[in-house]
Amino acid sequence: MQTLSEITPFVNEPFTDFSVEENANAMRTALEKAEAAFPIVARLWINGEDREGSAGTFDSIDPSQTSRVVCSCAKAGKDDALDAIVGASKAFTEWSRKTAEERAEYLFKAARTMRLRKHEFSAQMVFEVGKTWAEADGDTAEAIDFLEFYAREALRYARKQPITPYPGEDNEMLYIPLGVGVAIPPWNFPFAILAGMTTAALVAGNTVVLKPSSDAPGIAMMFMDLMKEVGIPAGVLQFCPGSGGEVGDTLVDHPLTRFISFTGSAEIGMRIYERASKVNEGQIWLKRVIAEMGGKDFMFIDEDAHVDKAVGDAFAAAYGYQGQKCSACSRLILHEKIHDEFVEKFLPLVEAATMGHPSDFNNYQGAMINEKARQGALDGIENAKKEGNTIAAGGEVGDEGGWFLKPTVITGVGRNDYVWKEELFAPVVAIHKVASFEEGVEASNDTIYGLTGAYWGKDEAKIAIARRDLHAGNLYINRKCTGALVGVHPFGGFNMSGTDSKAGGRDYLMLFTQAKSISRGK
């Protein structure tokens, strides 16, 4: 176990430079190894034992080559979910009494192993969820960051907390764990977010039942295998893949569940929030919900912005990982004085984007996660046409054997239009023209969401107003609205974007604890 004096300050994991041939060859080897192993098999892990699911099995499909099954996964039923919760509750007492140093060491060990095998995890995501090399590598780097950051945070929370001294008493305040938590991560960051929300809860002293996304059970199983390898005790972390309606509801509703950590759509997040608010028979607490629920994110390019830089950043923010990031730019708000110049420079980038299987390094864009997601985007594009918007680029499916959708630009979009209001979670950008800075601020805030946004301009007085008035949990000035780094940009949003949990920030572990004040007379 590392001593406190041996623990270095947190530093973000560097991204892999694939222009270095050695790195590129290592990634190609990992891709070949992953592809040769498909379909991999995932089983439940409950109370330290592998088991088949009582509800059968389900498959995850390579979205960029839909004939390929990536993972065949055991499917939990209600009884499995009940066993997982009860087992996690039994394991809580012993786990919660371990020191912060003991729990942190599991995360440090896991991070070291992740670093050694990073291309293996990245390769799995290339095939299972359609990430390019760079996007998958970023996901893996973020997973490492979360483990390293939260392990250090647990040690900080365990230190003596500053309180006001009082004569005649010895006083202290401790952060203690909550109990059994349910982690429900998304498919779009199936390693980073899964690892982050799970290990934050664990290192704070809680036990966790993990229900991974049904689109990404393979990478979730790789995480579980890693945690088994570093010796996580039986029952402390349970693996319970299954349907939201049966397994998810059972886990959320159970009276032994103390908190639910969720990342996903607003629709499902609201459903969880509502169900968790009910006090069920035998429940002696109010459940806590930590939710991140997406967004309708903006980049407002003002009249004095550096247009060339803004064009490049907007392209990356809109179409990186097929626009399937909760932080992705889906609303481009352009001042009328730079509108035409911006669009003229933006469209060639969009039209030149290469699309195909992301295992080929030369492809910028892979497929959308599944047919339902692509059809939802196509429905949004059809709505745009009916409302008189112009499809300036894209709007069509690809023919590469997967769920491809060409990067799409829609111009002439009004603030009552469908593509302005609805989160398509797709490579689709709506462009809206404004006549003034004030109108741009108003348009930027014209959404039920409030996750990320960016303002581009040079006037310091306007920047000061933008900092104050643009309502987003993560606001960027003169840079893209994606790419938050652990520890650097604590991440979480306002309004229907969730509970502003600020993952990767110094407040995050507090959400998995409760404060206990102890006073002793002298």
Rounded distance between C-alpha atoms, residue 240 and residue 100, angstroms: 26
Q: Report, as ranges of residue numbers, the positions in the chain whose pLDDT lies below 50.
A: none
Q: Tokens representing 267? A: 């629709």
Whether the CB-CB separation of 110 and 230 falls below 8 Å is answered with yes
For residue 190, the model assigns a pLDDT of 98
Q: b/e per residue, 377-387, with b = 16+ CB within 10 A?
A: bbebbeebeeb
Q: Tell me if 469 is assigned to some domain.
A: yes
DSSP character for 322?
G
Q: Tell me if 14 is assigned to some domain.
A: yes
Domain match, 484 and 511 both? no
329: which strand partners? Answer: 297
Domain match, 335 and 254 both? no
Phi then psi dihedrals of residue 68, to 5 deg? -100, 125
The contacts of residue 510 (CB under 8 Å, 6+ apart) are: 157, 175
Q: Tell me if 247 is assigned to some domain.
A: yes
Number of domains in the chain: 2
Q: How many CB atoms are closer than 10 A to CB 265? A: 15
Q: Tell me if 251 is assigned to some domain.
A: yes
Rounded distance between C-alpha atoms, residue 447 and residue 442, angstroms: 10
DSSP character for 236?
T
Domain match, 264 and 369 both? no
Tell me which residue of 327, 299, 313 sits closest to 434, measured CA to CA: 299
Identify the residue whose tokens are 């009276």: 255
Identify the residue whose tokens are 């199983």: 221
Domain match, 233 and 380 both? no
Whether the CB-CB separation of 471 and 445 falls below 8 Å is answered with yes
For residue 6, the model assigns a pLDDT of 79
71, 73, 240, 326: the catalytic one is 326
| Domain span including residue 258 | 4-293+501-521
Q: In this structure, what CATH number is given to the domain that contains residue 350? A: 3.40.309.10
For residue 7, the model assigns a pLDDT of 87
Rounded distance between C-alpha atoms, residue 219 and residue 212, angstroms: 9
For residue 3, the model assigns a pLDDT of 66
Q: Tell me if 495 is assigned to some domain.
A: no
Task: Tell me whether residue 102 is one of the annotated catalytic residues.
Answer: no
CA distances from 349 to 298, 346, 352 (A): 19, 6, 5
DSSP 190-216: TTHHHHHHHHHHHHTT-EEEE---TT-
Q: What is the pTM of this model?
A: 0.97
297: which strand partners? Answer: 329
Domain match, 269 and 336 both? no
Percentage of the chain modeled with pLDDT above 70:
99
Query: Cα 355–189–273 angle (5° rounding)?
Result: 130
Whether the CB-CB separation of 287 and 275 falls below 8 Å is answered with no
Rounded distance between C-alpha atoms, residue 19 and residue 417, angstroms: 42
Contacts by 18-25, CB closer than 8 A, 24 or more apart: 18/133, 18/134, 18/137, 18/361, 24/361
Domain match, 515 and 482 both? no
Q: Tell me if 409 is assigned to some domain.
A: yes
State in Å, rounded, how far the first CA of the chain is from the last one: 36
Domain match, 336 and 232 both? no
Domain match, 270 and 399 both? no
Domain match, 306 and 446 both? yes
For residue 5, the model assigns a pLDDT of 59
Rounded distance between C-alpha atoms, residue 148 and residue 140, angstroms: 13
Q: In this structure, what CATH number is given to the domain that contains residue 25? A: 3.40.605.10
Q: Tell me if 367 is assigned to some domain.
A: yes
pLDDT in tens, 280-323: 999 999 999 999 998 999 999 999 999 999 999 999 999 999 99
Beta strand pairing call for 408-411 and 390-393: antiparallel
- Helix, coil or strand: residue 409: strand
Task: Tell me whether residue 292 is one of the annotated catalytic residues.
Answer: yes
Sheet holding 40-42, edge to edge: 40-42, 69-74, 57-61
Domain match, 322 and 277 both? no
For residue 398, the model assigns a pLDDT of 82
Identify the residue whose tokens are 């979205």: 63
Q: Tell me if 496 is assigned to some domain.
A: no
For residue 4, the model assigns a pLDDT of 65
Domain match, 62 and 208 both? yes
105, 128, 292, 423: the catalytic one is 292
Domain match, 95 and 177 both? yes
